[in-house]
Structure 1
Amino acid sequence: MFEEVTINSKYIYKGTILNLRVDEVQLENGRTSSREIIEHKGAVAIVAVDGEDLIMVRQYRKAVEGELLEIPAGKLEDEDPLECAKRELKEETGYSADRWQYVCDFYSTPGFSNERMFLYYATDLKKGEMNPDDDELIKVERVKLQEALEMLKRGQFKDAKTIIGVDYAIRVAGI
């Protein structure tokens, strides 16, 4: 089992979504190294299934300079992950769900971030009004599960949470 011992830690940036710190660490071989770490409060992602359709969102992502088709997701705001998932599904898509199932949690990019994402499977959906954040320009799209499988095979999904979520939905559906 490997371990790195933090010798020194310095914050470079503190923001509303994330903090950036640089840690000086001692390795087991006696050498020292530095690690740039992004601290994040965590997030949720929702696999929302309505019959044979996945409810997805298309939005521009500045970090990758392009539009992505994704499963709905959002940041934790000092709340229970399931409550956050319910809030985010409603805000981003207008849908609410009567049935919720925890799927898993995972680190999105553990090489440099502690962001932990909680994935939920939502069914028995009811359509309502969207209420996205002021800075979110979102288009809701319904994608047939069979088409989502083909898109997955073609490598059209580019973010990890969507790849994991779509794969899960396809397995549940038995496709």
Structure 2
Amino acid sequence: MTGAARASGASGVPGVDVPDRRGRTGLHLTGRDLDRNPDVVVRDVELLASDWYVLRATTYDHRLHDGSVTTERRETYDRGDGATVLLYEPERRTVLLTRQFRYAAYVNEHPDGMMLETAAGLLDDDAPEEAVRREAAEETGVQIGDIEHVFDIYMSPGSVTERLHFYAAPYSGSPGGSRAGIADEGEHIEVVELGFDEALAGIGTRIVDAKTVMLLQWAALSGPFAR
């Protein structure tokens, strides 16, 4: 990407002054008006890619504790915010997870890329609770009860802008082994029901997805399975 996609940009750059394939423009402006931290002044924002999600390089001045100022350049990957939910059945002490192929894990030494995870997805234009109900229905096919908000977490703040909203909710039925997901969106999901103790013991071996680990540990420490 040349300087054509910088904040000072030239014409004809998708995502800058002509729509990208999601119909967006002005993507090079995000962050330029940030002023909540007086020690950080954004100088330039360069749009590197906007194929589906958005990759930017931002240059900013950072005043350090000793008063000196450094100029830094950081890339950020913006895929929007998301939500995830731990589905649990308290009487049988089970949790409902999904198994699906994740190429990013596969290319980084995961044995087969098939990840066990809590149901999750991007918010798009929905409120977090609405989004998580939608994703639970699409990915598992079960009806869920009252949703409890657990916490909101920045999952990889060094480079990814995403804030993930965490929830927990009881479910009914036993759909383990069924298939779910929206095929047109590339979702090919197996629904997996596990005993909670089995799932907790699988952290670091069978279960290596961060959001899932966090929700299982919350459930054991202060959630529905806390002793």
TM-score where L is the length of structure 2: 0.70
Distance 1:145 1:9 in 2: 46
Distance 1:127 1:80 in 2: 28
Q: Does 1:93 align with 2:144?
A: no
Mapping for residues 117-156 of structure 1, pairs under 5 Å: 117-126=164-173, 132-134=181-183, 135-152=186-203, 154-156=204-206
Distance 2:51 2:85 in 1: 25
Secondary structure of the residue aligned to 2:138 is helix
Distance 2:72 2:157 in 1: 17
Question: How far did 1:25 drift?
Answer: 1.3
2:130 aligned residue: 83
Structure 1 unpaired stretches of 5+: none
- Aligned in 2, Cα 1:140/1:124: closer, same or farther, shift over 3 Å? closer
Q: Does 1:174 align with 2:226?
A: yes
Distance 1:2 1:127 in 2: 53
User: Alignment identity in percent?
Assistant: 26
Runs of 4+ in 1 over 6 A off after TM superposition: 127-130
Letter in 1 for 2:190: K
Question: How far did 1:22 drift?
Answer: 0.2
2:78 aligned residue: 39
Question: How far did 1:130 drift?
Answer: 6.4
Q: Is the 8 A contact 1:71 1:161 kept in 2?
A: yes
* Rg (Cα) greater in structure: 2
Q: Does 1:50 align with 2:89?
A: yes
2:56 aligned residue: 21
Q: Is the 8 A contact 2:174 2:193 kept in 1?
A: no
Distance 1:160 1:82 in 2: 20
Count residues with an aligned counterpart. Answer: 173
- Aligned in 2, Cα 1:2/1:69: closer, same or farther, shift over 3 Å? farther
**Structure 1 residues 78-87 or 95-104, which shifts more?**
95-104
- Cα deviation, 1:70-112, whole Å, max 9, x if unaligned, reads 1111111111100000000000000121211111111111001
Q: Is the 8 A contact 2:142 2:171 kept in 1?
A: no
Structure 2 unpaired stretches of 5+: 1-36, 107-112
- The alignment's C-alpha RMSD in Å is 2.0
Distance 1:161 1:81 in 2: 15
Q: Does 1:10 align with 2:46?
A: yes
Secondary structure of the residue aligned to 1:147 is helix
**Structure 1 residues 80-89 or 121-130, which shifts more?**
121-130
Distance 1:131 1:27 in 2: 47
Q: Is the 8 A contact 1:38 1:112 kept in 2?
A: yes
**Structure 1 residues 156-165 or 39-48, which shifts more?**
156-165
- Does 1 or 2 have the higher relative contact order (CA < 8 Å, sep 6+)? 1
The structure carrying a bigger strand percent of its residues is 1
